[in-house]
Amino acid sequence: MRKGLSAWTLAGLVSLISVGCGAGATHMDNPGTDGVTADTSSEADLGRADGQTTGKDGSDDMLADLKQHDLPGDPDLGDEDAADQTGLDAQVPDQTTLPDFVDQETEAPDVTEDLADVSQCPSEPPDAIQELPCMVWECEATAWPTCWECLFVAGPDEAACELAGVGSGRCLQGSCVPNSDPETEGPKAVEEVEETLELEGGWFGTNIPLTIYLPEGAGPYPVVVFHHGFQLKPSQYASYGQHLASWGFVVVMPEMPSGVFGVGAPNHKELMGYLGAVLDWIVADAASGTGGVLKGRANAEALGLAGHSMGGKISVYRATQDARPKALFTVDAVDAAGGPISVNPENYPSVTPEMMGSLLIPSVFLGETTNGTCEGFLCQACAPEADNFHQYFANANSPSIEIEILGANHMSFLDNPNCGITCSVCPAGTDDPATTRKLTQGYMTAFFLVHLANQPTYEEWLTGAPMQQDVAAGVVATAVK
């Protein structure tokens, strides 16, 4: 760094000027033209005994002489000279009051602001250097000259992705992983809970026992309400509750009043009302948080309906009247009243085709045709062709899927198809009931994963390669709209 003249150098120059102006003069005070008293000391007074010349011609000698003396505390100066030195010091301003160009470091210009000027940066971040499945390119603006700091981070879980040589998969923590087969048991442990819903009305009110399957973890999880068939109980569908819950669904199975062989049982309109009361209870319990029966694990905003036989019809009926269900899956739903007894159509309304225009949510109608007809004395079809799953699908709005399990009968879908008198009235099919249940549970799980759990990659189990494999194997037939 460049430095200015020091205070002592300036003092020396003042001395030089004073000596030069007073050469050969006697000691006297004469006011100068600017009012400053000049010191006209002789050479002897300044200790110049060496005969050096002063004045104009001797200026070089005097400059050399100044360089040889360290003015402060010079041991060669006598007392009188020291007094003169003190007088010179008094004429020199303090160093701290000197102008900036004297004895001050000259600072380099500050270019930090120029370097940090983001106006020199491009307004848009750079494009990703490559495309990576399940990863997102994120950029953050920084100071010039870096401008943008970018990196890949894990994208959202459950997004669709493609696996080389395998097909579609799903994203999980930044990696593309194959979809698990929804026919297999899911990864979550399951807790079973019993509760009773008490409803007012009638002489003694109505109690509806609830069997609930809760997946482990905090959730919240989508909710599926599964309605049993005519003269059947939730225990005959326990494997469905267990399977769905293992995949991350809260499953609620109400046991509706059934009377004795149907006598004294609520009509279909009443059952539809009871199902609505179950939905009310789920919404209220979910709002109570961890202190509720569902322990805060239920997401009442993601609610689906499922049911077998009469339970399938009641589920469709409810979905045409209620905006809360977001998806519907029926298992061999039957639109008839059930049994040979004549009924009032106002209390046992036909749902298809009459109400199907009001069904505005995704749906699956799965069933069989073995029990579509019946021959013999007092024989009655358990799922008559005029009222079976195909009639629902034919009149459903899009999106909807029809799946027929080839060779199955109406009771093949139960955990125990040989359940007693109720099951015995339906002629057996040619299927393996265990395979029928496995297929049904897999399709149901995939459907609810897509429409309630926001996992669209499982659509392939309903319309893609896995479904086509089942069709090619001769176990199902399907249609989509």
Reported as a single tens digit per residue, the pLDDT across 469-478 is: 999 999 999 9
pLDDT digits (tens, 9 = 90+) for 301-329: 999 999 999 999 999 999 999 999 999 99
Task: Please report how many Cα atoms fall inside a 13 Å half-sphere around the Cα of residue 213, on the Cβ side.
Answer: 25
Q: Which residues make up the CATH 3.40.50.1820 domain(s) of the chain?
A: 190-480
Q: What number does CATH give the domain 190-480?
A: 3.40.50.1820
Measure the CA–CA gap between 352 and 386, rounded to whole angstroms.
10
Backbone angles phi and psi of 405, in degrees to 5: -90, 110
Least confident of 45-49, 73-77, 390-394: 45-49
Q: Yes or no: say if 36 and 14 are a contact pair by the CB < 8 Å rule.
A: no
Q: What is the mean pLDDT of the chain?
A: 81
Task: Band the pLDDT of 129: cuts 50, 70, 90.
Answer: confident
| Each residue's pLDDT tens digit, 400-435 | 999 999 999 999 999 999 988 889 889 999 999 999
Structure confidence at residue 22 as a pLDDT band (50, 70, 90): very low
